[in-house]
Structure 1
Amino acid sequence: MAQSSEQHRPLKVLIVGAGIGGLTAALGLRQQGHEVTLFERSQLAQEVGAAIHLAPNCHSVLRKFGVFPETFGANPVNGITEYEAGGKLKFDLDLRKALSIWQNPWMLSHRVQLHEELKRKALSPDGDGIPAVLKTSSIVTAVDPDTGTGTVTLEDGSSFSGDLVLGADGVSSITRKIVAGPDIKPFGCGKSAFRFLVPVSQVRENPATEMFTTREGYMTMWMDDDRRLIMYPCSNNTMMNFVGIHPSELSASKGEGWSRSASKELLLDVYRGFGPTVAALLEMVDVSALKVWTLLDMDRIPTWYKGRLVLLGDAAHPFLPHQGQGGGIAIEDAASLCALLPRNTAVDDIPERLALYETIRDGRAHKVQELTRLAGMDLNDPNRGNFNVMDFMHYNFGHDEWHNSSRELKKHLWSRNGPVRWRSPLAFGPMPSPRQDHLGRPIPARNSGFTTYSVRFRSSATYLKTLFPTPEFSFAGPGTVAEASFRCTELRDMAWLGGGGYKYMGLWIHGVQYTRKDGSKVHGSFLVVLLESLADPIITGQDELGMPKLFCDIDIDSSSKGKTEGPTSIECRWRGQPFLRMRMDGLEEAGPADTVPKPVTSGGPGGPPGAPPKPEEQGTMFYRYVPAVGMPGEADAAYVVLIPEGKGSSETSTVRRVKKTYRSQNSQVECVAGDWNNLPTLHHIAAGFAEIPIYGIVEAKVEEGTGVDDLANAEKIE
């Protein structure tokens, strides 16, 4: 559909509510080039607040938007200790190794400090985009989403119009009533929570409680059947945050509303069976700041948007506190909207983007919500079942909504103009190939030579998994850190090419598993794409093996030839336009013991204590896709292929022998996205390469040797 230049102006976005979700959305939309105005009913005067969990799934979004929690006092979770109500220790876990599998740490922040930093970044004259405008003491009384624009009306009668209105106005949302109707509203779940802060210094000074300050970053819990007390530090480990969850009837008589003042006597009475240590901690409370909150739940809303109005955060899904994910899921909502509304989004595209947002977010937000309800069940509730906190943690933490929504937007754009095309003669007899000549005789390549340049690096598992072709592919282990390799090979003395050779460059993702229909798994490295410099191996590799091959020019500048005094550089180009560069400096020949190939069995760092051993990789997997003629978007064949490791065919199998290995002391990879004009057939791949985050180099080496396998042992998995 043709779009006018008027439609490609910055979007005018109005946000009702300037809490954490609203400010995160404002910051991200500002960075996407849009004009943002926030309306906040309060004056946003700074006041004492509770702490907030910044788990890896929302921490990654904050860092994407330039917000670094450690700069405003957030501290990492280092461990969890749990006691029975009477004080008997149930477990004490040091989580530092277990949490190392996540690229961004699980952190604990004072809510006000996070809020202030988001506000500063969203409103600052510095930074990308147009600074957001914040209007405080602006009570929104009505939103009209159906006039072609979104119109917000304030209590004083003034009104504002925009292309889009975000309802981020919390549990008491007025925008929810407009989107979902008046009948869906929060209700008490049967539990309430005391919330208060105590200085760590005060806890340390008391001999009965000082033990809780000897290790920084530890969360401590006391659990009884129907009530629990949770304590954890924030503000650079200087303040201890307390949450005391209990049956609502125990404190309901002390006031009305969902947020009420409470007395120390009431607090001590609710937890009178928790022993002297807990009593000593509760005696430290500042009564003037002690609040009791009714914990609110809500039925699932039927839709997240209406016209130009869309909900996020607690307006869409109020969260119970049992997994500390309420703020994190609101931040994910904001990230999704920002990813779906990039710079130059047309006004006419807004309705379909809101529908896509609802599809993306509804399932995940409500699954985390269900897991949260399960985590909050009383210990003696027969419906609680087996609560595996690590399984829940892996689902919650192992997600990056920016990567997820960006991928879903690409898939949506691919489908907008109808089915897209995802891409032999028989008359002259069989075609010569690496496996046989035109008479069918095998062509072994035992004397062919190779030089392989490889750089293995750590990257984001949440991004790399967007490159998997089907949901049956996943990482074998949990975490948001995985490993991948760019690998370039130069082949020489190939008999089937008249003694010539060619070059190829590929991207391999390690530590991958494919789940068959029967539930069994195949483990290996996944070959995403192979770029080759000669048409003949591209054709044979596509036809006979189903490998994902494309053409590009590959230039290898290796004047040093493995010596230490010069660099080696590799560049992939299309008609002179470079899009991938790999460079190795400080190459040194490895000793004999160091040249023995080591099996690669992991996609990332070690797992948590007690985790099962990582599965051994069985070989290289890739996905064969054969398009159906005249039916764009349909496949004649689509299945997974495995090249088993160390399993050759009987006649043509060739042993790969590495004769020399050189290791690089310094290497780097640079990817350039280009555009559809200078890379018309490879821009989608170059852009995908450019988005791969590289956290650090694991290994960089050059291997020289003889023996080139014809890959005749490739097999269809199912």
Structure 2
Amino acid sequence: MAATSETHRPLKVLVLFERSQLAQETGAAIHLAPNCHSILRRLGIFPESFGANPVNGITEYTPEGKLKFDIDLRKALSIWQQPWMLSHRVQLHEDLKRKATSPDGAGIPAVLKTSSIVKDVDPNTATVTWEDGSSFSGDLVLGADGVSSVTRKIVVGPEIVPFGSGKSAFRFLIPHEQILKNPITQKLAERQGYMTMWIGDDRRLVMYPCSDNTMMNFVGIHPSELSASKGEGWNRGVAKEVLLDVYKSFGPLVQALLEMTDVSALKVWTLLDMDRIPRWYKGRVALLGDAAHPFLPHQGQGGGIAMEDAASLSALLPRGTTAEDVPDRLALYEKIRDGRAHKVQSLTRLAGLDLNDASRGTFNIMDFMYYNFGHDEWHNSTRALKEHLWARNGPVRSRAPLSFGPSPSPRQDHYGRPIPANDSRFTTYSIRFRSSATYLKTLFPTPEFSFSSPGTVAEASFRCTELSNMGWLGGGGYKYLGLWIHGVQYTCKDGSKVHGSLLVVLLESLADPIITGREELGMPKLFCDIDITSKEGGSTRIECSWRGAQFLRMHLDGLKEEVAGDKVEAKEEVPNGTTPTGPPGPPKPEEQGTLIYRYIPAVGKPGEADAAYPVLIREGSGSSSIPRVVEKTCRSQDSRLEFQEGDWQSLPTLHHIAAGLAEIPVFSVVEAKVEEGRGVDDLASAERIE
């Protein structure tokens, strides 16, 4: 990568130097798991448009052909924001190249230069020198030059080099139609989107589709000495007899498949591993992909983790980044990526251990999948950059919506006596929706908060309540609107967990309840104007604004009153005793109430807190003992949420929150309704968790 050489001007020109002529792309198929598929879609790359097909199931046999398991994954994989797909590498590379160099996208198109063989890189001047003696200088060099990386030697020295893992892999393609027409192998091609494996003690054969299920990709992993030859390189040709000999102990089904191999396309490559690098950058040169962490193929995550590296750099170097920002951003990149990339690398090694390896231990593929798939590096790095920018001028004065002084409250009058609330009334407008779990996780106040179930799709709600006849307000009322994230757990120091819906922020239209709710309960309250407009025909609009600057709207249209006997469509529930991924597991935990996080900043000590701890509010168990009675329910047939980020001038004290809300993806509405009734809980049951 190269950009303008003037350090105070933004980086803007991307030049891609490719060693080959791109005349013939090597490789066969590649896994596009949910963690990298979401990155591609964010870039406007849609794998299904170039023939990628989803994984529908996995079948495993013993070498002799005895079935070990056959799993339909279509329902299990629905918990992920994007499907697990299989693509031909050439088709993926072509679309990536098209997107990078096209003038139709945002920004300046990348410049691609082929036949550029690197001889040396100067990390201090960001200068690349080619074999012909020519050179190119910029502000930043990204070394994505593979397992035999030249830039790696510049960054970490010549001591860390790839080494043979003891295994090699055959790879080849067979047309799906050819397998389907053979009576012996026909059953392997009848179901589309299935990955099939034959696992032996020290060798395995994996088959899966690509190119819109028209080609079957094969990977045959085996001890390297069985296919060793005098040839050099990672992409060597090999005789078909060698392939057949390696798998001669496998059953007739495998033999029939291997006989179909086109020897002209049969390749073998040594599976290389490498020790963990001590750093990811030096000066103005950084590593990514196999240059930083060559992967064994056992989880299909090598390409995916490289895409995560690229997404991280893209998020950390947005438009407006200057050359003088580069060193800090590269340090942040290393901090973000080192742990995850090498953990997935370590899990991959475990997945590839032989069945008869004494160190294999207990292997749980679902645990691996949850970790690998349940991550979105764009959201992760974007959040990390925000925190970096917040803190770069020294400790920030953190101020959660919690720290106003005490005042009379719903729980007592100014003498400490309970306040009658028999006549209090409420009208609650709510929209519950499905969203990105990987984004919602960035709103969790501490790492101890997490989702109770795996997946990259979660549910959240915006709820607005209008209160009236409140005794502690002299019969008056107010409005509040908040964001609740459902299915959240807090892990205590002793390992126990508290389950509930996390209240991220609560916007209220009156100062008094804001003050008491923040002080006595630790609730994340802030002020804004809330306007509720209802029209004839069953339509309600709710607007949040600050001095006329609107930033959030809820629309509930087609409201229809629910009467006794009405059938309400119930959303699909996961059976008790199973997880959303299919295999047996624990039931979904029952929510115990609303989770919040109380934070009181320390005076005169920026970045420190006098109080910081989680709180649980068990609704319906307050000291007032006033039951909440719903007298009328209307359900919306058409609802939506609208966000407007605003700016520091229009929303000087709320812009950070408005911007965060505007980033929330809304996949679909689960439920939208209006409830009217009497009885308002005083929330006196709020308790400190630890």
Output the TM-score relative to the length of structure 2: 0.96
What residue in structure 2 maps to residue 641 of structure 1?
Answer: 615
Structure 1 residues 243-392: aligned runs within 5 Å: 243-253=219-229, 255-392=231-368
Contact 1:431–1:437 (CA under 8 A) maintained in structure 2: no
- In the TM superposition, residue 608 of structure 1 has moved relative to its aligned partner by 2.2
Task: Quote the Cα distance in structure 2 between the aligned partners of 1:653 and 1:638.
Answer: 29
What residue in structure 1 maps to residue 402 of structure 2?
Answer: none
What residue in structure 2 maps to residue 591 of structure 1?
Answer: 563
Structure 1 residues 17-56: aligned runs within 5 Å: 34-47=12-25, 49-56=27-34
Contact 1:444–1:653 (CA under 8 A) maintained in structure 2: no
Contact 2:599–2:611 (CA under 8 A) maintained in structure 1: yes
- 2:664 is the counterpart of 1:692: yes
Contact 1:97–1:609 (CA under 8 A) maintained in structure 2: no
Q: Do the aligned partners of residues 605 and 555 (structure 1) sit closer, same or farther apart at CA in structure 2, a change above 3 Å counting?
A: farther
- In the TM superposition, residue 50 of structure 1 has moved relative to its aligned partner by 1.0
Task: Quote the Cα distance in structure 1 between the aligned partners of 2:172 and 2:570.
Answer: 54
SS at match of 1:622: strand
What residue in structure 1 maps to residue 89 of structure 2?
Answer: 111
What residue in structure 2 maps to residue 136 of structure 1?
Answer: 114
SS at match of 2:499: strand
What residue in structure 1 maps to residue 137 of structure 2?
Answer: 161
Deviations 1:664-718 (A, max 9, x none): 0001101111111111101110010010000000000001111111100110011
- In the TM superposition, residue 153 of structure 1 has moved relative to its aligned partner by 1.4
- In the TM superposition, residue 611 of structure 1 has moved relative to its aligned partner by 3.2
SS at match of 2:305: helix
- In the TM superposition, residue 661 of structure 1 has moved relative to its aligned partner by 0.5
Q: Do the aligned partners of residues 664 and 374 (structure 1) sit closer, same or farther apart at CA in structure 2, a change above 3 Å counting?
A: same
Q: Which amino acid aligns with 1:279?
A: Q
- In the TM superposition, residue 414 of structure 1 has moved relative to its aligned partner by 1.1
Task: Quote the Cα distance in structure 2 between the aligned partners of 1:132 and 1:346.
Answer: 18
Deviations 1:214-241 (A, max 9, x none): 1100000001000000000000000000
What residue in structure 2 maps to residue 680 of structure 1?
Answer: 652
Contact 2:34–2:81 (CA under 8 A) maintained in structure 1: yes
Q: Which amino acid aligns with 1:689?
A: L
Contact 1:305–1:311 (CA under 8 A) maintained in structure 2: yes
Task: Quote the Cα distance in structure 2 between the aligned partners of 1:587 and 1:388.
Answer: 48
SS at match of 2:613: strand
Misfit runs of 4+, over 4 Å: 5-8, 593-602, 604-607
- In the TM superposition, residue 609 of structure 1 has moved relative to its aligned partner by 4.2
Q: Which amino acid aligns with 1:261?
A: G
Contact 2:556–2:636 (CA under 8 A) maintained in structure 1: yes
What residue in structure 1 maps to residue 392 of structure 2?
Answer: 416
Q: Do the aligned partners of residues 130 and 308 (structure 1) sit closer, same or farther apart at CA in structure 2, a change above 3 Å counting?
A: same
Task: Quote the Cα distance in structure 1 between the aligned partners of 2:329 and 2:407.
Answer: 48
- In the TM superposition, residue 430 of structure 1 has moved relative to its aligned partner by 8.2
Task: Quote the Cα distance in structure 2 between the aligned partners of 1:434 and 1:605.
Answer: 41
- 2:591 is the counterpart of 1:617: yes
Q: Which amino acid aligns with 2:596?
A: F
2:523 to 547, 568, 585: 547
Task: Quote the Cα distance in structure 1 between the aligned partners of 2:198 and 2:568.
Answer: 53
What residue in structure 2 maps to residue 668 of structure 1?
Answer: 640
Contact 1:41–1:138 (CA under 8 A) maintained in structure 2: yes
Task: Quote the Cα distance in structure 2 between the aligned partners of 1:497 and 1:599.
Answer: 39
Q: Which amino acid aligns with 1:641?
A: V
Task: Quote the Cα distance in structure 2 between the aligned partners of 1:352 and 1:611.
Answer: 43
- In the TM superposition, residue 369 of structure 1 has moved relative to its aligned partner by 0.2
Q: Which amino acid aligns with 2:409?
A: S
Task: Quote the Cα distance in structure 2 between the aligned partners of 1:143 and 1:594.
Answer: 72
Percent sequence identity over aligned pairs: 77
Q: Which amino acid aligns with 1:541?
A: G
Q: Do the aligned partners of residues 631 and 596 (structure 1) sit closer, same or farther apart at CA in structure 2, a change above 3 Å counting?
A: farther
What residue in structure 2 maps to residue 627 of structure 1?
Answer: 601
Uncovered stretches (5+) of structure 2, i.e. residues with no partner: 400-404
Q: Do the aligned partners of residues 600 and 59 (structure 1) sit closer, same or farther apart at CA in structure 2, a change above 3 Å counting?
A: closer
SS at match of 1:255: coil
Structure 1 residues 483-562: aligned runs within 5 Å: 483-560=459-536
- In the TM superposition, residue 139 of structure 1 has moved relative to its aligned partner by 1.0
What residue in structure 1 maps to residue 547 of structure 2?
Answer: 575
Deviations 1:464-486 (A, max 9, x none): 00000111110000100000001
Q: Do the aligned partners of residues 260 and 613 (structure 1) sit closer, same or farther apart at CA in structure 2, a change above 3 Å counting?
A: same
Q: Do the aligned partners of residues 706 and 596 (structure 1) sit closer, same or farther apart at CA in structure 2, a change above 3 Å counting?
A: farther
Contact 2:379–2:438 (CA under 8 A) maintained in structure 1: yes
- In the TM superposition, residue 46 of structure 1 has moved relative to its aligned partner by 3.0
Deviations 1:37-66 (A, max 9, x none): 011111001345310000000001000111
Task: Quote the Cα distance in structure 2 between the aligned partners of 1:659 and 1:601.
Answer: 27
- In the TM superposition, residue 440 of structure 1 has moved relative to its aligned partner by 1.3
Contact 2:433–2:668 (CA under 8 A) maintained in structure 1: yes
Contact 2:406–2:520 (CA under 8 A) maintained in structure 1: no
- In the TM superposition, residue 255 of structure 1 has moved relative to its aligned partner by 2.8
Contact 2:406–2:516 (CA under 8 A) maintained in structure 1: no
Contact 1:490–1:503 (CA under 8 A) maintained in structure 2: yes
> Which region of structure 1 is more displaced relative to structure 2, 477-486 or 152-161?
152-161
Task: Quote the Cα distance in structure 2 between the aligned partners of 1:247 and 1:197.
Answer: 21
- 2:55 is the counterpart of 1:77: yes
Q: Do the aligned partners of residues 605 and 462 (structure 1) sit closer, same or farther apart at CA in structure 2, a change above 3 Å counting?
A: farther
Deviations 1:50-109 (A, max 9, x none): 100000000010001110000000000000000001111100000111101001000000
- In the TM superposition, residue 256 of structure 1 has moved relative to its aligned partner by 3.1
What residue in structure 2 maps to residue 219 of structure 1?
Answer: 195
Structural RMSD (CA) = 1.9
Deviations 1:159-209 (A, max 9, x none): 111111100000111000000101111111000000000000110111000
Q: Do the aligned partners of residues 263 and 330 (structure 1) sit closer, same or farther apart at CA in structure 2, a change above 3 Å counting?
A: same
Uncovered stretches (5+) of structure 1, i.e. residues with no partner: 12-33, 424-428
Structure 1 residues 450-461: aligned runs within 5 Å: 450-461=426-437
SS at match of 1:373: helix
Q: Do the aligned partners of residues 200 and 43 (structure 1) sit closer, same or farther apart at CA in structure 2, a change above 3 Å counting?
A: same
How many matched pairs?
Answer: 678
- In the TM superposition, residue 647 of structure 1 has moved relative to its aligned partner by 2.7
- In the TM superposition, residue 600 of structure 1 has moved relative to its aligned partner by 12
SS at match of 1:655: coil
Task: Quote the Cα distance in structure 2 between the aligned partners of 1:669 and 1:395.
Answer: 31
Task: Quote the Cα distance in structure 2 between the aligned partners of 1:520 and 1:174.
Answer: 49
